[in-house]
Amino acid sequence: MGERPLARSVVARQRFGRLFSLGDRNSPSSWTPAIILSESDKDLPFSIAPFRYFRDSTNLPAKISIKTRTNLTLPFDRLDTWFASEGLVLPPSLVESNSGEFGYGGEILPVSWQSLHHDLTLNDENLLPSIIILTDAPQLVNQKGLLSEALYIIRTRFPSSLIWTPGIGGPDNCAILTWMGVDIFDLARSKHASSLGVILSENGPRNVEESVGEDSSMDTQIQCWKNSIAATRIAIREGNLRELVEKQSISSPRSVERLRIHDAKMSSLDGGESGLARIKGQFHELRCHSFSSRNDPLIQDWRSRVSEHHQPPLHQSKVVVLLPCSATKPYRLSSSHKRFSRSIVSNTIHEVMVTAPLGLVPRELEDIWPAANYDIPVTGDWDLDELKTIKEMVDKYITRNNFMRVLNHSGIDIEHDTIEIIDTRNGLSAGSSEALDFLKEMVEKSVNDFSLDDPKESKHRLGKLRALSNFQHGTDDWLEGTGIQGRPPIFTIRKEGKQLALWNPRLGRFSFTKACLPLLAESKKFPVANITPGIDWRGDLFSSNVISVNGSIRIGDEVLVYQNGELIGSARAEAAGWEWPNGPSRLARAQHRL
């Protein structure tokens, strides 16, 4: 009888961290992140420790088996045991040597840094293990960047598998390793800490405080694990795993280094490959409370897309005004920005907010993720890194878009060799009557100097939506010849009597109608999912009915669905591009069928 695969479903996901339910989907026995017990470990509840492993090293290569502690495979009628050979693993430094013996198995698959580079069987599309063991993880953590690189290769090649990195996990790095893609942890470090008489806590190793009755027993160590696993699971559910990771990273220099390396790796990739979301709505908060937040690939992605790609509305191409941000999001609802709007008497003036950590937020983008969602401590002072980022972004933005004049109401000293910069504050507060009067005067002067004519309000709104569509989707072709109806901030977009889309700032997205799908397809800018020929597509998109994808997919994207080369509908992505087409659970929720 062959080995049976683990039954697992994604309950929640954030970047590479995922909360899997294990066993019967309707009544899960356990979840990840989870603990795997050794042969000598005491029993723990199935909910946190669903597996036990046995390692036989009496003969080489060592053999390993993993046994389920509760019924986790269909039809949930018995326990299962999976077997594998670890192979003979060479040190990571000898990666160029294609020798030794690779690990092999069915439902459990041992891999190493060397096998990731030389084992061609890993390319077999039929290889779908339930658990992957990165056997040389203890060696990889000691060499800069190798652990992050190995986990990324495994995670993207086997999106449905659980990953175990033996010997390196603890309550102090559970969230960080989960963020990088690890699902299963063992107790090796906690047992070592116990033997040394210290506690491996969520905040790192520390001495026992006997005055409160502490000890370093395994019961104490396990309680630390329970606290860490609970915090990590709830963080994934609530979408704030990044915040927990940043808190946890300061427990050791190695964790800080690991997070920085991972951030740099993810920032170098396309947003779909690094797991970024494009659309979240205004009800999800992005808390940027530490210096590490600035390195978040989501923040880096925003900075890059605004400074290097975004174009303002066509009727706002001559003059830009730089404004300070506000605690209220979107900014236009704040009392300060309502005062600014009374001084900016022409809609031909392009408004850009200066803020940390995003750098710049053009007015037409203030309703979308993450500009509408971030929260940052406000001291009233800029540090050198923030000033450097803002000045570099402003320089790129105004140069690339060929602005003729900049009205600087931000309070930050901005200079440019060829573009005229006018400081409209002159050392005064942004909301002072003198500064606002001078801002109004300079706006009126700019309108006269450059002969700027205000378009009709409908064209002004359409221009802003076109710029927004270009930023979110890389095209505004579908808006050609359309008209805008409705009262701000919600707009209906129509063409030839047909509604094409609804812009709702609370969702931070265009809600496309069925009639708009052919126009989206014509632009060739929207991601495409090709589903199995011959099936009657009725439900959502899963690995069982998606055969291939084209284009970059971020969470929240509108994905066009094709079958036999014909457009048949659309779906809204719930998984990022790295999980397609073989990721677990639902990849996208169906929206329209033609």
Mapping DSSP onto H, E and C, the string for 496-523 reads: CCEEEEEEECCCCEEEECHHHHHHHHHH
Domain of 369, CATH number, reads: 3.40.50.10630
| 469 and 424 within one domain | no
Q: How confident is the model at residue 89 (pLDDT cuts 50, 70, 90)?
A: confident
Residue ranges making up the domain that contains 398: 286-449
Residue 489 confidence (pLDDT):
86
> What angle is formed at CA 372 by the lines to CA 580 and CA 388, rounded to 5 degrees?
95
| 504 and 412 within one domain | no
| 179 and 52 within one domain | yes
pLDDT at 379 over 70: no
Residue 464 confidence (pLDDT):
96
Q: Considering the domain boundaries, does residue 275 fall inside one?
A: no
Residue 406 confidence (pLDDT):
97
pLDDT at 216 over 80: yes
Q: Considering the domain boundaries, does residue 31 fall inside one?
A: yes
pLDDT at 391 over 80: yes
Q: How confident is the model at residue 283 (pLDDT cuts 50, 70, 90)?
A: confident
Q: 23 and 46 in contact (C-beta within 8 Å)?
A: no
pLDDT at 18 over 90: yes
CA distances from 248 to 262, 299, 330, 492, 558 (A): 15, 20, 30, 45, 35
Please write the tens of the pLDDT for every residue from 472-514.
999 999 999 999 998 888 999 999 999 999 998 888 999 999 9
Please write the tens of the pLDDT for every residue from 122-133.
999 899 999 999
Q: How confident is the model at residue 380 (pLDDT cuts 50, 70, 90)?
A: low
**Among 271, 261, 334, which residue's Cα sits nearest to residue 292?**
261
Q: 366 and 332 in contact (C-beta within 8 Å)?
A: yes
Please write the tens of the pLDDT for every residue from 242-273.
999 999 998 888 899 999 999 999 999 999 99
Mean pLDDT over 229-242 rounds to: 96
| 248 and 340 within one domain | no
| 247 and 125 within one domain | yes
If one counts the domains in the chain, the total is 3
| 498 and 378 within one domain | no
| 569 and 474 within one domain | yes
Residue with tokens 């803020």: 355
Please state, in angstroms and rounded to a whole number, the distance separating the CA atoms of residues 322 and 428: 15
Residue 291 confidence (pLDDT):
79
Please write the tens of the pLDDT for every residue from 513-563.
999 999 999 999 999 999 999 999 988 999 999 999 999 999 999 999 999
Both tokens assigned to 387: 């000033």
User: What element of type H or E holds 529?
Assistant: strand 528-531
Phi, psi angle pair for 513, to nearest 5°: -95, 170
Please state, in angstroms and rounded to a whole number, the distance separating the CA atoms of residues 278 and 361: 15
pLDDT at 281 over 90: no
Both tokens assigned to 65: 């088996």
143 vs 93, more confident: 143
| 75 and 28 within one domain | yes
Q: Considering the domain boundaries, does residue 93 fall inside one?
A: no
| 65 and 202 within one domain | yes
Q: Considering the domain boundaries, does residue 279 fall inside one?
A: no
Q: Considering the domain boundaries, does residue 273 fall inside one?
A: no
Q: Considering the domain boundaries, does residue 276 fall inside one?
A: no
Domain of 513, CATH number, reads: 3.10.400.20
- Non-local CB neighbours of 490 within 8 Å, separated by 6+ positions: 502, 503, 504, 505
Q: How confident is the model at residue 1 (pLDDT cuts 50, 70, 90)?
A: low
Q: 216 and 201 in contact (C-beta within 8 Å)?
A: no
| 113 and 54 within one domain | yes
Q: Considering the domain boundaries, does residue 30 fall inside one?
A: yes
| 336 and 230 within one domain | no
**Residue at which a domain ends, from 404, 420, 449:** 449
**Residue at which a domain ends, from 419, 449, 479:** 449
- Averaged pLDDT score across all residues of the chain: 94
Q: Does the bond joining 110 to the residue before it have cis omega, within 30 degrees of 0?
A: no
**Residue at which a domain ends, from 449, 465, 485:** 449
Please write the tens of the pLDDT for every residue from 394-441.
999 999 999 999 999 999 999 999 999 999 999 999 999 999 999 999
| 419 and 462 within one domain | no
CA distances from 215 to 220, 222, 560 (A): 7, 12, 58
User: What element of type H or E holds 138?
Assistant: helix 137-140
Q: Considering the domain boundaries, does residue 95 fall inside one?
A: no
